[in-house]
Each structure stands twice: as C-alpha cells, then as structure tokens.
Amino acid sequence: MLLELNIENFAIIENMKIEFDRGLNVLTGETGSGKSIIIDSLGLVLGARANKDIIKHGEDYAFIEAIFSCYSDDIKKTLKDYGLEIGELIVVSKKIQRNGPTITRINNRAITTQVLSKIAIKLIDIFAQHETISLMDNKNQLKLIDDFSGDKHKELLKELDKVVSDIDSLKKEYQDKSNLETNKEREIDLLEYQINEIDEANLTEYDESELTEDFNKFSNMTNTITKLTEAKSIIDSSYDSANIEDILDKVILNITEVSKYNKDIKYIEDELEDIRYRISDISKNLDSYIESMEVDEEKLNFLQSRIDLVNTIKTKYGNTIKEINEFYEKTYERLEFLKNFEKNLKVLSDKIKSLEYKAIEIAKVISKNRKETANLVQDNITKEIKELNIPNAKFKINIKEKELGHDGIDKIEFLISPNKGQELMPMSKVASGGEMSRIMLGFKSIIAKKDNIPTLVFDEIDTGISGKTAQIVGRKIKNLSKGRQIIVISHLPQIVALADTHFLINKDTLSDTTISTITKLNDEDRVDELARLIGGEKISEYTLATAKEMIGDE
C-alpha cells in the first residue's frame, strides 16, 4: 500500500506531502490545479523517464519520494533477490538534477531503472489515458494474453525466442555462405597459398625466442672471443714475476702459519683455498671455451635468413606463433568448408529445418495456451463491461495464425460490439472514450485479481461518462477498493461521493509564482467540495443537501 508521497520542486508543486489511506482515495480540484501532475510524479518515481524540464522554475532539482508498506512475501523476496534492505517500509526516491544525473534509490540504495521496474510492478499499477491507446495495439493485446497465461507459458515464450534467434542466425550464415559461390575458387586459391606458406615455414617455439638469442650469439662471436681471451690473459698475467694464482699461494701460506696458533682466522684460510681452486678452474674453462669457438659465417647466414622468414610470416598472419597457429586453424577450417561447399550448406539447411520444426512445435503449445486463456479473459471482460453499463456489448478475442516469429504463430486482435446489432470490430474503430474507459476498468479489475497488486491508480477513468454510468463505474471502483488501495483522480460527483479519503488540490498564485497545494478534507469540507462538483462555483442549499445525501448513501 502507498502510505506517503512527498514531492519537491516538481512543475508547479513546491513542497507537497500526501498521506494516503486504505480503501478509496479520491483527488479532486479545478482544471490545471495539479491533479495529474501528482500522478505524473508518482509515475516518475516508479520508473517513467525523467525530463529536466519538470524541475520547478528557479530550482536546481526536483525530488519525489514514495513510501510503501512492505507486507507481501513476494515483494520481500524480490527485494532480497536484488540485495536491498528489507523492513516494514519500502522507500523509493528519485532526485532529478538540473546539472547532474538523475538518481533513483530504494531503501537508500541507488538502483537502476531495470531493477526498479521489477519491484514497482509488484507494488502499484497506474492507469492513465495513454494506456487506453496502448490497449488498441495488437502487440500489447498479445502481451496481455501472455501475461494471463502463467509462468510455464512465459518459459515457453523464452525458449521459443531463443530457438527463433538461433534460426535467424543460421539463416544469415546460410545466406552469407551461399553468396560465396561466385568467388569460391579464387578464395580457395588464396587460402591454399596461405596454408602452404605457413606449412613450409614450419614454425616452432624455437622461432619465438631462442632463434633471436642464437643469432645475437653468433653475430657477436668475434667480439666474444676477443673479450674472453683478454680475461684469460689477465688471470695468467704476471705482476712482479707473479700471476694471480702465485699471489694467492703466498697469501695462503702466510695465513696458514698464523692459523696454527690463531684458530679464529682458520675460516679465512679455507676461503682463500676455495678461491685459489676456483680461479684455477675458471682459467681452464676459459681455455676450453675459447678453443671450441669459431666464427661460423654459414650458420650466421642461416640464422639471419630464418629471422627474415619468421618476421615475414608474422607480418602476414600474426604477431606471435600462437596467433599464427590460430590463423592457420581458421583458414584450414574455411578451406575445408569451401572444398565441401554443397555438403556444408546442406548441413546448415538441415539444422535450420530441424530448429524450425522445434520452434513450430513450441509455438503450437503456446498458441493452445493463448486460446484457452483468451476464452477465459473474453468471458471475464464481457461480464465486467456488462456490469459497467454496456449491457448489449459483445467482446471477442480473435486469434489468427501468422508466420512464425519470436512471439509465436498467433496474431491477436480484440474485437468489440458495444451496441446491439452492431458488427464486431477492432476496439480502435468502434469504442468511444467512455466505453474504452470502462473496458480498461474491466481489464484492470481482472488484472488486479490475478496479480494481487496492492495499489491501483486511475487517472481520467471517468472520461466520457456521466449519470447512471458514472454511478456504476463508481461502485465498481468502490468494490475494487475493498480488497486493495485505490487512488482516483475524478471530477464526477458519483465517484467522489464514494471516497474513503478525499484530497482537494488547489492552485494558488503568490507574488509572481504559481504553486499547487493539497488538503485532506474533513467531513464538512468534503460536503462543500462535492456540492461544488454538483452545482459549480455557486453552492446552494439544494446542492449541499444533495452532496450530504450522496455521501450518506455511500
């Protein structure tokens, strides 16, 4: 249930707080006072697109907050699914900033419009005049029947949509590949050349890194021999008639003498001995390595050629051996397809036919469900609109077969004959504004029963009706309010008189600005407002008595 609506800086509303009650809440006021603006603000906070033009002139932002009670286990589960806080209240807010982003929150946590729509649809249903136009669209009529057909039906629709998407994708692939017939031989030649070039290169992991290392090694062979020979000469060179090894021998001898009676430096003697032998080994190893080295021009030329080949292949087919191999696999696959062109097209064609058969079978089940649902909805709507003072009306849901699509094989059209002897025709061509309002009320009645929506909002539900019809519509709305909260904007006394809670919207001019205000009426003020609706601005004893009588008959 909607407990409270707070509005700041929205159109002509400066600051408004509305505390709604259970049952039937009615909003009245003169034309232009801001009644529909209130419903518009409620629609915005619950997911409608926000336009910055609605921000009150001279202000930087508009803010709307709707507070709902949170009793339903279904709503609590939905909140939990989206990681939102669960408590006794659901607080939905939207801040529309003139120079910043629009931010929507639920229970003080920012959320997306998509998440909001999943939650809002379980809290409230707002009916405005544009929904009447929407109901005349065949696609929306189909969606309405699907909504009534249950969860298993909706799962079938998802499965069908997936299968038809796969069919569309395969058909596009088939068409694209069929178009290859003209240039097939030319492409085969190119693919074979590319495959042969990569095959002949016979690339390995060695070519990725070690090839360059070997090339660098061989191209610097002369410099390597020179540097190593110089290092060996330094080790073997004499200084004061002694090379490095001789000098170490003398040092070791002195340390050995001392260590005989000073054990603390024995470790130095050991380390020097180790260094002595290591230098000796290094000298021998350098000798051996230098003797094994030679400048191999032939090997160097081979490595240079190999690097050039690898770089050429990389330039054409990929920056790494891995990328080149991936290119090779795709090219080979493509070549195999072209060489078996007709066979592969047949495989694709068979896949398409198999999926089309599957889609048709699913679509037939969906169609059967829709026809069963359509019969139930048709009977319920006929009953509803007869109760809403269209006694001779006939309502029919016509289902014709169409070509398979993402939504199945059904084309649905709502037909109506409002008057006796009148032919069944599409609603858009027959129904008047008043009839459409009542038909929509009938739909809302059965939708509300099915979905268990706790709050229904009606704006302009009384368009084109008066007198006895208005009284019947009022009674229907009143009956609906016994099981849920109803919020109605109305100018008809027959509906207003039935209110459990009555709000009056006024438009006031202060200095150079216009603002809209709201008042919850007490019993006396309610009589006065109803008398104004009955007799206009001039309220007489008669209109007051009539207003009291209508409220008393509530």
The CATH code of the domain that includes 517 is 3.40.50.300
Backbone angles phi, psi at 4, to 5 degrees: -150, 145
Residue 88 maps to a domain: yes
Pair of tokens at residue 384: 């509803």
Residue 540 maps to a domain: no
Residue 304 maps to a domain: yes
Residue 299 maps to a domain: yes
Which helix (H) or strand (E) is 507 found in, with range?
Answer: strand 501-510
Rounded Cα–Cα distance for residues 63 and 94 (Å):
6
Of 319, 348, 379, which marks where a domain is finished?
319
Residue 349 maps to a domain: no
User: Do 4 and 122 fall within a single domain?
Assistant: yes
Rounded Cα–Cα distance for residues 232 and 105 (Å):
79
Instruction: Write the burial class of residue 283 (CB in 10 Å: 0-12 exposed, 13-18 middle, 19+ buried).
Output: middle
Rounded Cα–Cα distance for residues 538 and 545 (Å):
14
Angle, nearest 10°, between helix axes 138-148 and 341-387? 80
Which helix (H) or strand (E) is 488 found in, with range?
Answer: strand 485-489
- pLDDT tens for the 554 residues of the chain, in order: 999 999 999 988 888 999 999 999 999 888 777 778 888 888 888 888 888 888 988 889 999 999 998 777 888 888 888 888 888 889 999 999 999 899 999 998 999 888 888 888 888 888 765 555 567 778 888 988 998 888 899 999 999 999 999 999 999 988 887 766 667 777 778 888 888 888 888 877 777 777 777 776 666 665 665 666 665 565 566 544 456 667 667 666 766 665 665 666 677 778 877 887 887 787 778 777 766 666 566 777 777 788 788 888 888 888 888 888 888 888 888 888 777 777 778 888 999 999 999 999 999 999 999 999 999 999 988 888 888 887 888 889 999 999 999 999 999 998 888 778 788 888 767 666 667 777 778 877 787 777 678 888 888 777 777 788 888 888 888 888 888 899 998 888 889 999 999 999 888 777 677 788 889 999 899 998 888 888 877 788 888 888 888 887 65
Decide: pTM greater than 0.75: no
Q: How many CB atoms lie within 10 A of CB 308?
A: 10
**Which residues span the domain enclosing 275?**
209-319
User: Do 16 and 106 fall within a single domain?
Assistant: yes
Of 260, 289, 319, which marks where a domain is finished?
319
Residue 397 maps to a domain: no
User: Do 105 and 219 fall within a single domain?
Assistant: no
CA angle 19, 23, 27 (to 5 degrees): 55
**Domains held by the chain: number:** 2
Instruction: Write the burial class of residue 357 (CB in 10 Å: 0-12 exposed, 13-18 middle, 19+ buried).
Output: exposed
- To which residue do tokens 């596009």 refer? 172
